[in-house]
Amino acid sequence: MSRLRFRKIAVIARAPASGSGGRIGAACREIAAVAGDFGATVAVEPALAAAAPGLATVDLRAHSVDLVISLGGDGTLLRTARLLFERDIPVLGINFGSLGFLTSVSATGIGESLRSVLDGDFFVERRQTLAAEIRDAAGEARLSFAVLNDAVVHKAGAAQVVHLDMWVGRQDDLEEIGSFSGDGVILSTPTGSTAYSLSAGGPIIVPQLNCFLVTPILPHTLALRPVVVPGDEEITVAALDGRDPLYLTVDGQEGGTVRPNERVVVRMGAFKVPLVRLPGHSFFATLRRKLSWAARPAGDG
């Protein structure tokens, strides 16, 4: 049982498309009804005002809340986490998407699950983040990003092979990892190890480990494999000849152009994202349920 008590609840969701507002609106009303039974109030982000008439709106960048509920898939939860970086506000993910690996509750179990949470029957799982920077030729950070899943360095524009050089270590003590040609490289948290990195052949990493993962994307050599890096290291990535324009994409949602002679530097972030979990929703239980990982063959007792 958790001692946390939630009195101010905010709801985040992708703006409803035509024909889907009813589902989102119904979920918002159900959340508000359950919260009211516990003396809590519910507000929605402004984009949901039309789908949930009668509920107040809230700007998470300007107002304080105790709990944020994300209605959608992993992309919506990632956007929610990005709005709350360094705010230490717990996030409960309700899956309205397909896989929903990061979300904790199915869309059909909103009422029962929320009652459990508001009754204190939950735990908080803190997920490590990354800090990613695009540094100019002088070594100064020009753009900075907080990352929950992954930072991907790839070719800007048309799909082409990219030639990358990589180093490990702090900027005054770099050791070259090596160079390669391919479609790019994924730098992911343990949380992100079950996302794009997994599709690119990377390993699954338990979220509690203090490390991050370097996964080449379709490298033009069989000798280059994913590498797990200790959490106190940094990874630096640059175009091999210094001239090819690159792009950095963060959590599949934002990013920036890496100009000629610039570098991408990634290290562990100082902040951990608090995700609300229900009993029985452990990391390995989620692997078995969402990915059919290590499932028993049919007919085994």
Q: Would you name the residues annotated as active-site residues?
A: 74
Q: What is the DSSP letter of 120?
A: T
245 and 257 in contact (C-beta within 8 Å)? yes
Q: 115 Cβ partners below 8 Å, 6+ apart?
A: 34, 37, 38
How many CB atoms sit inside 10 A of residue 97's CB?
Answer: 19
Q: Buried (b) or exposed (e) across 34-57, using 16+ Cβ within 10 A?
A: bbeeeebbbbbbeebeebbeebee
Residue pair 22/52 in contact (Cβ under 8 Å)? The answer is no
* 21, 51 Cβ separation under 8 angstroms: yes
DSSP class of residue 13 equals: E
Give the separation between CA 14 and CA 24, rounded to whole angstroms: 9
